[in-house]
Amino acid sequence: EEIHKKVNTPLVLHGGTGISDEQFQRAISLGVRKINIATASFDSLASYAKTYCDNKEKANYFELSACEVEGVYQNVKRHIKVFNME
């Protein structure tokens, strides 16, 4: 809040891990314009991949890759909603 009051520059949040949706929204209201969500995307990818592998006797590379992309896509889609960027 103090930084936002003193500078007229868009701010960056390096690392969104562990931040609630409400905290993201507050940060945006205080001038944050770039938020890194890589860890959440990687976690989502891993979760989708694990679910895929747990339910397949024999994994297929292309199906697994598509599943991983879907995991990242769903995470980004969720954050777009949280950030009110729809």
**SS3 assignment, position 46:** helix
Secondary structure letter of residue 49 according to DSSP = H
Distance, in Å, from the CA atom of 49 to the CA atom of 59, rounded to the nearest integer, reads: 10
Q: Whole-angstrom distance between the N-terminal and C-terminal Cα of the chain? A: 25
Structural domain for 44, as ranges: 2-82
- pTM, rounded to two decimals: 0.85
Overall domain count for the chain:
1
For 42-69, the pLDDT digits (tens) are 999 999 999 999 999 999 999 999 999 9
Banded model confidence at residue 1, pLDDT cuts 50, 70, 90? confident
